[in-house]
């Protein structure tokens, strides 16, 4: 069945369209459903649920059947082949008459036929066991993903995205290998009980060491992947702050810690190989010593039958048994990590239930007493609820809050940053458990998140999100959510793809799409978390009037907002501060709201110009053979050419010279005529023993040289890729999803760390053993050179055809793997929205589809791999028959020692050659991981042609000049800025406003040189293109619309270069009124920042960004809609701080607040990528035909 795909793969590059559909038994949904059911039973009926137990119940019987089938045949071969070999050697003893020629032919044929039988059964079971491991992996991936979708929001303080990615990229992959070898745990000791008694103690101890090492590696890898995910999410901020160097050091340090553990693990693995070689040689030496001491003659039958048995012992015990122990120990750690994740929520719930029982204050977790409210009434009622994001902390996020909302009401929630507004919605959504109080929620819920979540699909798919398409309703929702104009300028309207995390959209567009998704869904309760902050004035009014008050007038609407101008039209308002309810009532009842100020929202965005293809950029796919350049890159990453020669020399000495020397000398000793007294028996014993000791010592040296070499290669390849990625262009990050990039830093680097070294060592070892064995065999019968040459030619031709197809399949498998990671990361970012819309099943189905595509490619790769080994073993078995036949043809001139040597060594070839060629094939296909890493190592860095180093005081004035500036985001798109020219004087405060797609954010991109542009930009009369990027960006400070905090300590987030004292940091925090909040943290400045800064509110994160620019003290400051998502108080604080602390600085503000614009010295009005107005705001107001006047008029500004 593989023949058609082989022929197709040899003629052309395979794609995902050429893949076979997966068999039903391998389908992700089927496997996930079954394992989820078994795991649920574990959780429901077992005090200590076990993933191993669930897997055994699901797959145990099937696994046992495969073992019984193969090892029944294997045991028969092990018992019968030595007997037949002994009888065959008896035939070649001079002057014997016990074995006839007919019997000798029968014994020789039996040896060959037994080898054929073992090959047939071995490769069938190996393929099935490989597919079995794949099934276990797919089932576990599906279960992990389903549990991810159920993980509550507060659990992400304990479980990170990096940990999730590592579970998918490394831990579950242990299943692909462990089941291939697992049966050796019982067959090895069964085959040789005596040897097992010695080896079990040693190998089990080494397995425990590997297990502990594997656990440390997993933790280190988690930290590195989590850090990489953090960097990818905040790459724009890192570039604008010129923080590449601190993050480069941070990742390099994390990588070194990881590699130290990997080096130890690799040393332990290779020491196992030394044990394999040394134990067999030592055991054979002891047997020969005992034979000599008992004074019988040393016969070829005794030596070579013993050699055969010990070679089988080596494979069963020292190689396969120890490899199984190591694989099992690593898998045990991976299963433990998966199980810890699966039970994290359960353990948390148990602790919470205990606390709730102790308090005796919880009326009900989610159902209110009937005397409070009618149980059938739709709405929300919360009474005296108390909530903590982390139950281990003493501070309450919400404390004794009472809240209600019912159909026909618009209920507003307002308050300062960190007051608990978003937390209240999370409680209603049951994302955070109650510590105390009562919560009643009745009716279908729809939700629009404060940080809008969009996934990589079309705008229509993002809005529908699994709902049925109703054209009339869809158009209505588009209109009332202010998306009509945007869709008219998008290249494919509602079918335009938005890119990962909505990279093709502005913040306002993402917010409106998120709102449209919530509104399109037919629900009873609508929870809208500040959707009006990111939109301009006109659109905000449309949304509130036509959507909230119109379309949703009969619904229960809870609106968190900072836009106080809308409060007077709400039915009821709740004011939260520091987690407590300060006041509630309608507008007239709350005097503090009577003086709410108006706002002007100027939305940032970029028009998506017309393009030729409505698709995302596909991941680059290499074609053809893995080039020599890739191997050269790997070799030179490991060390200099001299060091490479040292590695090669050590391998040749071990596997050709010394190994053959021991075998040849033993043959020489057997054939030695005792009457000649050329060498005494004692001398032969000493020489043989010395050769074995020298072989062991040389192997130790070779191990250290090789492990150091592969560790250097891993370090240099990773660091080279990371540096080029970190310093890559913003165009690269916009076009490549974080899932794709993380795939290379997790899965591909994992292959380079642990898989490629194994294949490289095995390939080199097998090739050199093949070379050495054939040299040895040809010395005893030179006629055998002819079949050896023929065999080499056949192997080469077959491998050439096989490699072409297998490489294509492996590349396809690598590409099919990326969507799994992308889907996982996208799902984790939108968990709350997914659960609010009850779309877990839809996301699970999409995940299962991605897994099925990957399974198709992966199974095809397994089949290709298995077919290679099968046909190679068949050829080697034929070669054994030719060797035996050649000795019959030579007749009486044959030495019995030569017969024994040739046959035993040729039997070794059966496993060795196919193992080597499969590893060669695997090495070549896995080198695509190096190819993918090298591809990123060769990424074009940002254009940094600047060669002028301005004085340290530059810019002293802060004047900015744009002269005929035009910019586009890539060479195949239209200009987003066209011939923009203006002059900003020293110390001016400039407001920048404009419609969606006007080009406001593009101005900032030009100023920071995030993209290439035409024209000229000068700062203090110095052309910015002539200034090195790091200097230019370090002289400008910015606060982004979406504040970014990174994993690590708060101190590192504020001062990564460690330039400022504690007093300076505390003073800056005090000036933005965050000193108390930070002081209350467990470790103050050294407190940990959670992933994405989730332990701070959005407003607090924005204030921390303000602290950054206060510490930097640059002459030019850019506020990119910095106050869009904060409350009025925080906005006022930011603006007053900017005015007081930076009164002599040049400030550009993309404004969302009316008072901010009116306080500016001048306002720059953008439209369609051009400057249409630029003057004092009071002057602009005098022009009734101007755009600025139009904006304010729509706001009813008086």
Distance CA 1025, CA 1079 (A): 43
> pLDDT tens digits, residue range 95-146?
766 788 888 889 889 988 988 898 888 888 888 888 898 999 999 999 988 8
891, pLDDT greater than 70: no
User: Which secondary structure element, helix H or strand E, spans residue 930, and what is its range?
Assistant: helix 896-937
The mean pLDDT value for 528-539 works out to 79
Looking at the domain covering 406-418+444-593, what would its CATH class be? alpha beta
Work out the pLDDT band at 410, boundaries 50, 70, 90. very high
606, pLDDT greater than 50: no
Within the chain, how many helices (H) and strands (E) appear?
Answer: 40, 21
Nearest to 310 by CA among 192, 204, 198: 192
- Cβ pair 473, 844 in contact under 8 A: no
Lookup: tokens for 1006? 């030009």
Distance CA 221, CA 162 (A): 9
pTM, rounded to two decimals = 0.64
The mean pLDDT value for 474-495 works out to 85
Lookup: tokens for 874? 């068949």
The mean pLDDT value for 333-342 works out to 85
Q: How distant, in Å, are the alpha carbons of 538, 611, 1040, 1169 from that of 607?
A: 18, 12, 19, 9
What lies within 8 Å, CB to CB, of 934 at 6+ separation is: 629, 630, 633, 717, 721
What is residue 515's predicted lDDT score, i.e. its pLDDT? 92
Lookup: tokens for 25? 């038994």
Question: Is the fold of 406-418+444-593 the same as that of 960-1194?
Answer: yes
Cα 1183 to the center of its chain, rounded Å? 55
Residue 494 is given by DSSP the state G
What lies within 8 Å, CB to CB, of 744 at 6+ separation is: 721, 932, 933, 936
Residue 155 is given by DSSP the state G
Dump the DSSP string for 582-647.
EEEE-TTT-GGGTTPPP-------------S--SPPPPP---SSPPHHHHHHHHHHH--HHHHHHH
> pLDDT tens digits, residue range 78-108?
778 888 888 888 887 777 667 888 888 898 8
Lookup: tokens for 130? 């490989």
At CA 162, angle to CA 156 and CA 166, rounded to 5? Answer: 120
Whose tokens are 């070549």? That residue is 924
Lookup: tokens for 831? 């968990």
What is residue 203's predicted lDDT score, i.e. its pLDDT? 47
Whose tokens are 């303080």? That residue is 157
Distance CA 375, CA 367 (A): 8
Helix (H, G, I), strand (E, B) or coil at 413: strand
| Burial category of 25 from C-beta neighbours within 10 Å (exposed 0-12, middle 13-18, buried 19 and up) | exposed
Q: How distant, in Å, are the alpha carbons of 397, 448, 529, 895 from that of 426?
A: 11, 11, 10, 85
What is residue 478's predicted lDDT score, i.e. its pLDDT? 92
- Cβ pair 930, 634 in contact under 8 A: yes
Peptide bond into 696 cis (omega under 30): no
Work out the pLDDT band at 366, boundaries 50, 70, 90. very low
What is residue 1124's predicted lDDT score, i.e. its pLDDT? 64
Lookup: tokens for 141? 């991936």
Runs of H (alpha helix) within 957-1012? 1000-1007
- Cβ pair 1040, 236 in contact under 8 A: yes
Work out the pLDDT band at 625, boundaries 50, 70, 90. low
> pLDDT tens digits, residue range 1080-1137?
888 888 888 877 777 787 778 888 888 888 888 889 999 887 666 666 677 778 778 8
Pick the more confident residue, 851 or 970.
851
- φ and ψ at 526, to 5 degrees? -120, 115
> pLDDT tens digits, residue range 764-823?
888 888 888 888 788 777 778 888 888 888 888 887 777 777 777 877 787 788 788 888
Lookup: tokens for 408? 């026909």
- Cβ pair 693, 658 in contact under 8 A: no
- φ and ψ at 1048, to 5 degrees? 130, -160
Distance CA 1189, CA 574 (A): 34
Distance CA 990, CA 1150 (A): 9
The mean pLDDT value for 497-518 works out to 80
The CATH classification number of 3-9+24-343+625-937 equals 1.20.1560.10
Distance CA 111, CA 644 (A): 41
Lookup: tokens for 176? 């692909």
What is residue 1015's predicted lDDT score, i.e. its pLDDT? 92
Helix (H, G, I), strand (E, B) or coil at 12: coil
Q: In angstroms, how far is the first alpha carbon of the chain from the final one?
A: 79
The mean pLDDT value for 541-566 works out to 88
At CA 721, angle to CA 715 and CA 726, rounded to 5? Answer: 120
Rg (CA), the chain: 36
Helix (H, G, I), strand (E, B) or coil at 1010: coil
> pLDDT tens digits, residue range 240-267?
888 888 889 889 999 999 999 888 888 8
Distance CA 293, CA 689 (A): 15
Distance CA 1115, CA 1121 (A): 19
What is residue 600's predicted lDDT score, i.e. its pLDDT? 31
Cα 135 to the center of its chain, rounded Å? 21
Work out the pLDDT band at 191, boundaries 50, 70, 90. low
What is residue 622's predicted lDDT score, i.e. its pLDDT? 52
The superfamily in CATH containing domain 960-1194 is P-loop containing nucleotide triphosphate hydrolases (3.40.50.300)
1152, pLDDT greater than 60: no
Strands 960-967 and 445-448: unpaired
Query: In 10 A of CB 595, how many CB atoms?
Result: 7
Work out the pLDDT band at 458, boundaries 50, 70, 90. confident
User: Which secondary structure element, helix H or strand E, spans residue 260, and what is its range?
Assistant: helix 244-293
> pLDDT tens digits, residue range 638-692?
888 888 888 888 888 877 788 778 877 877 777 776 666 567 777 888 888 888 8
599, pLDDT greater than 50: no
Distance CA 581, CA 387 (A): 13
What is residue 872's predicted lDDT score, i.e. its pLDDT? 85
Distance CA 1123, CA 1150 (A): 9
Secondary structure of 1103-1136 in HEC code, one letter for each residue: HHHHHHHHHHCCCEEEEECCCCCCCHHHHHHHHH
Distance CA 1003, CA 981 (A): 11
Greatest mean pLDDT among 779-783, 931-935, 1056-1060: 931-935
Distance CA 777, CA 775 (A): 6
What is residue 558's predicted lDDT score, i.e. its pLDDT? 93
The mean pLDDT value for 513-526 works out to 92
Lookup: tokens for 621? 């796919």
Cα 1179 to the center of its chain, rounded Å? 54
Domain ranges of the chain: 3-9+24-343+625-937, 406-418+444-593, 960-1194
Least confident of 1-15, 477-491, 674-688: 1-15
Nearest to 302 by CA among 316, 314, 288, 281: 288
The mean pLDDT value for 164-186 works out to 78
- Cβ pair 1040, 1125 in contact under 8 A: no
Query: In 10 A of CB 409, how many CB atoms?
Result: 17
Nearest to 312 by CA among 188, 181, 179: 188
Residue 1027 is given by DSSP the state S
Nearest to 781 by CA among 905, 873, 662: 905
- Cβ pair 567, 421 in contact under 8 A: no
Distance CA 184, CA 75 (A): 12
361, pLDDT greater than 70: no
Mean pLDDT of the chain: 80
The mean pLDDT value for 384-407 works out to 80
722, pLDDT greater than 90: yes
Strands 1162-1167 and 525-529: unpaired
């Amino acid at each position: 069945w593989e023949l058609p795909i082989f022929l197709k793969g040899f003629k052309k590059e395979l794609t995902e369209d050429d893949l076979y559909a997966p068999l039903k038994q391998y389908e992700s949904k089927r496997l996930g459903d079954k394992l989820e059911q078994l795991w649920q039973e574990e959780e429901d009926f077992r005090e200590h649920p076990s993933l191993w137990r669930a897997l055994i119940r699901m797959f145990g019987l099937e696994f046992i059947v495969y073992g019984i089938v193969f090892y029944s045949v294997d045991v028969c071969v092990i018992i019968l082949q030595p007997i037949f070999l002994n009888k065959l050697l008896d035939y070649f003893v001079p002057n014997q008459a016990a074995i006839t020629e007919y019997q000798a032919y029968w014994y020789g044929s039996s040896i060959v036929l037994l080898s054929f039988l073992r090959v047939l059964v071995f490769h069938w079971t190996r393929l099935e066991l490989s597919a079995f491991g794949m099934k276990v992996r797919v089932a576990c991936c599906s279960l992990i993903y389903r549990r991810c979708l159920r993980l509550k929001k507060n659990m992400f303080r304990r479980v990170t995205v990096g940990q999730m990615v590592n579970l998918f990229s490394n831990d579950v992959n242990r299943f692909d290998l462990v089941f291939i070898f697992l049966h050796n745990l019982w067959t090895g000791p069964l085959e040789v009980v005596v040897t097992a008694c010695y080896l079990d103690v040693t190998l089990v101890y080494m397995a425990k060491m590997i297990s502990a090492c594997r656990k440390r590696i997993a933790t280190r890898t988690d930290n590195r992947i989590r850090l990489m995910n953090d960097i990818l999410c905040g790459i724009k901020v890192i570039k604008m702050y010129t923080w590449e160097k601190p993050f480069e050091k941070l990742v390099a340090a994390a990588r070194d810690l990881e590699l130290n553990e990997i080096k130890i693990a690799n040393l332990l693995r290779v020491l196992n190989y030394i044990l394999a070689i040394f134990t067999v040689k030592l055991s054979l030496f002891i047997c020969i010593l005992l034979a000599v001491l008992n004074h019988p003659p040393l016969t070829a039958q005794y030596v070579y039958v013993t050699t055969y048995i010990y070679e089988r012992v080596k494979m069963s015990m020292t190689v396969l048994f120890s490899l199984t122990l190591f694989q099992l120990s690593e898998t045990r750690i991976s299963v433990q990590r998966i199980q810890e994740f699966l039970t994290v929520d359960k353990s948390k719930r148990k602790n919470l239930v205990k606390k709730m029982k102790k308090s005796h204050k919880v009326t009900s977790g989610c159902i209110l007493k009937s005397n409070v409210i009618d149980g059938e009434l739709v709405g929300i009622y919360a009474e005296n609820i108390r909530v903590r994001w982390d139950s281990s902390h003493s501070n309450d996020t919400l404390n004794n809050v009472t809240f209600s909302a019912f159909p026909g009401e618009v209920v507003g929630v307002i308050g300062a940053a960190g007051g608990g507004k978003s937390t209240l919605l999370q409680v209603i959504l049951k994302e955070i458990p109650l510590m105390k109080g009562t919560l009643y929620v009745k009716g279908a819920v729809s939700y629009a998140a404060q940080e809008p979540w969009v996934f990589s699909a079309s705008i229509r798919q993002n809005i529908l999100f699994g709902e049925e398409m109703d054209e009339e309703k869809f158009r209505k929702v588009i209109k009332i959510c202010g998306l009509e104009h945007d869709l008219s300028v998008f290249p494919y309207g509602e079918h335009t793809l938005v890119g990962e995390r909505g990279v093709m959209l502005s913040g306002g567009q993402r917010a409106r799409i998120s709102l449209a998704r919530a509104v399109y869904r037919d629900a009873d309760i609508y929870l809208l978390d500040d959707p009006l902050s990111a939109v301009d004035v006109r659109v905000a009014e449309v949304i509130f009037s036509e959507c909230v008050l119109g379309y949703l007038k009969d619904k229960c609407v809870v609106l968190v907002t900072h836009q106080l101008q809308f409060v007077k039209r709400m039915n009821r308002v709740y004011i939260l501060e520091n987690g407590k309810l300060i006041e509630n009532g309608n507008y007239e009842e709350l005097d503090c709201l009577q003086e709410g100020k108006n706002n002007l929202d100027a939305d940032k965005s970029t028009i998506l110009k017309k393009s030729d293809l409505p698709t995302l950029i596909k991941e680059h796919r290499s074609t053809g053979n893995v080039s020599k350049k890739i191997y050269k890159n790997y070799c030179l990453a490991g060390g200099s050419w001299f060091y490479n020669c040292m590695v090669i020399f050590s391998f040749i000495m071990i596997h050709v010279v010394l190994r053959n020397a021991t075998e040849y000398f033993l043959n020489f000793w057997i054939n030695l005529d005792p009457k000649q007294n050329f060498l005494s028996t004692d001398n032969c014993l000493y020489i043989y023993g010395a050769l074995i000791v020298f072989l062991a010592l040389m192997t130790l040296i070779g191990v250290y040289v090789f492990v150091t070499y592969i560790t250097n290669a891993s370090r240099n390849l990773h660091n080279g890729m990371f540096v080029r990625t970190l310093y890559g262009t913003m165009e690269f990050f916009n076009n490549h999803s974080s899932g794709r990039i993380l795939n290379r830093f997790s899965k591909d680097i994992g292959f380079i760390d642990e898989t490629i070294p194994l294949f490289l060592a095995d390939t080199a070892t097998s090739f050199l053993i093949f070379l050495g064995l054939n040299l040895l065999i040809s010395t005893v019968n030179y006629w055998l050179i002819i079949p050896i040459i023929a065999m080499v030619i056949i192997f080469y031709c077959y491998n050439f055809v096989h490699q072409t197809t297998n490489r294509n399949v492996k590349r396809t498998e690598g590409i099919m793997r990326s969507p799994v990671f992308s889907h996982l990361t996208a799902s984790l970012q939108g968990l709350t929205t997914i659960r609010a819309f009850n779309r877990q099943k839809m996301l699970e189905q999409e995940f299962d589809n991605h897994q099925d595509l990957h399974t198709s490619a992966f199974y095809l790769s397994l089949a290709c791999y298995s077919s290679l080994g099968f046909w190679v073993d068949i050829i080697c078995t034929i070669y054994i028959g030719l060797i035996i036949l050649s000795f019959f043809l030579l007749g009486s001139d044959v030495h019995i020692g030569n017969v024994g040597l040739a046959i035993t060594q040729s039997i070794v070839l059966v496993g060795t050659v196919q193992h080597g060629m499969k590893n060669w094939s695997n090495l070549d296909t896995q080198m695509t991981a190096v190819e993918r890493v090298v591809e990123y190592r060769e990424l074009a860095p940002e254009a940094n042609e600047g060669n002028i180093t301005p004085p340290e005081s530059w810019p002293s004035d802060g004047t900015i000049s744009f002269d005929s500036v035009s910019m586009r985001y890539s060479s195949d798109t239209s200009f987003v800025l066209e011939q923009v020219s203006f002059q900003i004087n020293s110390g001016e405060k400039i407001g920048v406003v404009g419609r969606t797609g006007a080009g406001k954010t593009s101005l900032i991109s030009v100023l920071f040189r995030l993209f290439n542009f035409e024209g000229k930009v000068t700062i203090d009369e110095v052309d910015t293109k002539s200034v090195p990027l790091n200097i230019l960006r370090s002289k400008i400070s910015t606060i982004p619309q979406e504040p970014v905090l990174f994993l690590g300590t708060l101190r590192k987030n504020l001062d990564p270069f460690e330039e400022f004292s504690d007093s300076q940091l505390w003073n800056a925090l005090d000036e933005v009124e965050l000193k108390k909040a930070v002081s209350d943290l467990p470790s103050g400045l050294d407190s940990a920042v959670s992933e994405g800064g989730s332990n701070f509110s959005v407003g607090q994160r924005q204030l921390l960004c303000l602290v950054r620019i206060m510490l930097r003290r640059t002459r030019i400051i850019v506020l990119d809609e910095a106050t869009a998502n904060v409350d009025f108080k925080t906005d006022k604080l930011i603006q007053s701080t900017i005015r007081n602390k930076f009164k002599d600085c040049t400030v550009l503000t993309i404004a969302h607040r009316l008072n901010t614009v009116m306080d500016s010295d001048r306002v720059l009005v953008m439209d369609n990528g051009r400057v249409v107005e630029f003057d004092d705001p009071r002057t602009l107001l005098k022009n009734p035909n101007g755009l600025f006047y139009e904006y304010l008029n729509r706001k009813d500004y008086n």
